Amino acid sequence: MDKTRPLGLFGGTFDPIHLGHIIPISAAADICDIDHVALIPNFLPSHKQAANSSPEHRLAMLERVCADYPLFHTETWELKQQALSYSFYTLEMLRKRHPQRSLCFFIGSDSLHTLPSWHRWQELLGLCHFVVCQREPTKPDKQSEQQKQHVTALLAQHQITEPQALHKKLAGCIYLANTVPFNVSSTWIRAELAQGRVPDNMLPKAVSAYILEHKLYQSNAII
């Protein structure tokens, strides 16, 4: 890995990881000329209910994805903290580890809308860039009027239109990547699996095989 090139970061619950994660982020990484993206599974999400599958299963599925998609590797720091996961602390740790490297945090556009609810959100752009992939809303938009105003102000100050800027600065830019929306969520996949249907067209092959082998998501119980 060339440590002078930008490092992509992609955090989530990944319960399970699906093609809506992999395809838009791969496309955005390509547009931005980023060749390494760390998948960062959270231990306990700070903004939603606990995961349905154990950290071990969620990580095992990510490792299968990394074996098939060389763009990705796993970063298990949040799992090792065994506490609520806040991106701020993960980014602070990664900034210390990579003081001279551009850090590009990939998120879906739904996450950009709620960014002003993240812990210490005003400090995040001091630590990383954000690369935003298009995502059509899967749930009612939870963005408040105040959050809308904050996001508009963030974009006015930080949005860039040329992705090369992500290589020139270490942090501080927001790039809205023109990726094709891939409409799926882990919630929908879990609901399909709980009904006995395997949505193969929305999951990497190795992940559906893992889910079937370990009988994951067959009910709402935490496994």
The single residue among 7, 8, 22, 24 that binds ligand ATP, judged by CB under 6 A, is 24
The Cα 6–Cα 3 span in angstroms is 8
Q: In angstroms, what is the minimal distance from the CB of 174 to ligand ATP?
A: 14
Residues binding ligand ATP: number (CB under 6 A): 19
Q: Say whether residue 107 binds ligand ATP (CB under 6 A).
A: yes
Q: How far apart are the first and last CA of the chain?
A: 35
For ligand ATP, the binding residues in 132-171 under the rule CB under 6 A are 133, 135
Letter string b/e over residues 206-220, b meaning 16 or more CB atoms within 10 A of that residue's CB: bbbebbeebebbeee
Picking from 50, 36, 45, the residue whose alpha carbon sits closest to that of residue 8 is 36
To the nearest whole angstrom, how small is the minimum distance from the Cβ of residue 100 to ligand ATP?
A: 26
How many whole angstroms separate alpha carbon 62 and alpha carbon 199? 18
Q: Compute and round to an integer the Cα radius of gyration of the chain.
A: 17
Asked if 18 contacts 205 with a C-beta cutoff of 8 angstroms, the reply is no
- Binding flag, residue 130, ligand ATP (CB under 6 A): no
Choose, by CB under 6 A, the member of 6, 8, 12, 172 that binds ligand ATP. 12
210 binding ligand ATP? (CB under 6 A):
no
Residue 186 lies near ligand ATP (rule: CB under 6 A): yes
Report, in Å, the least distance between residue 20 CB and ligand ATP: 3
- 110: contact with ligand ATP by CB under 6 A: yes
> Which lies closer to ligand ATP via its Cβ, residue 13 or residue 208?
13
Alpha helix stretches (DSSP H) within the chain:
19-31, 55-68, 77-81, 87-97, 109-114, 121-124, 145-158, 165-168, 186-194, 205-213
Q: Which residues bind ligand ATP (CB under 6 A)?
A: 12-15, 20-21, 24, 48, 107-108, 110-111, 133, 135, 182, 184-187
